Amino acid sequence: MGIRINNMEQVVELTEVGEGIIQIKMQDKESKNTFSQALTAGLMEAFNHVKNETKYKVVVLTGYDTYFASGGTQDQLMKLTEGNSKFTDFDLYSLSLNCPIPVIAAMQGHGIGGGFAMGLFADFVILSQESIYTTNFMNYGFTPGMGATYILPKKMGIVLAEEMLLTAKKYRGEELQARGIPFPVLRRDKVMDYAYELAATIAEKPRVSLVTLKDHLVGEMRQELPKIIEEEVKMHAITFAQPEVKDRIKTLFGN
């Protein structure tokens, strides 16, 4: 459906799926949508394209099959333990927040760690009943990053956010729905239809009005987030330095 604009090295596909509606599809099947170099570059290129193209009014951000986004790669996490990089080296977490037009995160598949946090920064979030959603940072022994300590309480409420961040448990979408999260949670095969219908409703509005209203609605978040990111980086400097963290990443990654 629509016209492929650029295959972004085939791991990020940018497609017009309706008038004023642009879809960004993450499909790095080799890495299962972890933040590989190719996926990272593709996402940044895609959002930059959207930013510079004034015919678009709304973005649908989605994944492939049973994966939405899976967070950092094992190699990236190991580099963090060595102090050779920071998650802020590539600002994936606020791409949706800083996008001038509304973004719909159609999380039809699993959202893991930073991948789940990235999705929550969208203006609209749709989950699937069957998929797993987790902020699993603490399973590896290090504190959450990617703005997770800010966006989870903001979007899901402090009680559930603390539980998810501190325990690092896995939750099916239907479990989160039963906990009263404020997002639609649908069968996986219904998520995209819902997202396209929502996008079409948004795209009926004038772009200038959409941009102006989004600037107003998320202005406070855009101002507050950098301070939170600074604090998360400081916590990483402490927690990634623990020897057991490197061992956990080696043995537990992907489980």
- Which pLDDT belongs to residue 75? 86
Domains, in order of start, for the chain: 3-188 (3.90.226.10)
The amino acid sitting at 120 is L
Give the pLDDT band (50/70/90) at residue 9.
low
3-state helix, strand, coil in the chain (%, to 5): 50, 20, 30
Residue 237 reports pLDDT greater than 80 = yes
Catalytic site residues?
236
Name residues whose C-beta falls within 8 Å of residue 64's C-beta, 6 or more positions apart in sequence.
25, 26, 27, 29, 33, 109
Check whether 6 has a pLDDT greater than 60: no
- Which of the four pLDDT bands, split at 50, 70 and 90, describes residue 2? very low
3-class DSSP assignment, residue 189: helix
**Mean pLDDT within 118-141:** 97
**Over the stretch 184-212, which tens digit does the pLDDT of each residue have?**
999 999 999 999 999 999 999 999 999 99
pLDDT greater than 90 at residue 83:
no
Across the chain, what does the average pLDDT equal?
93
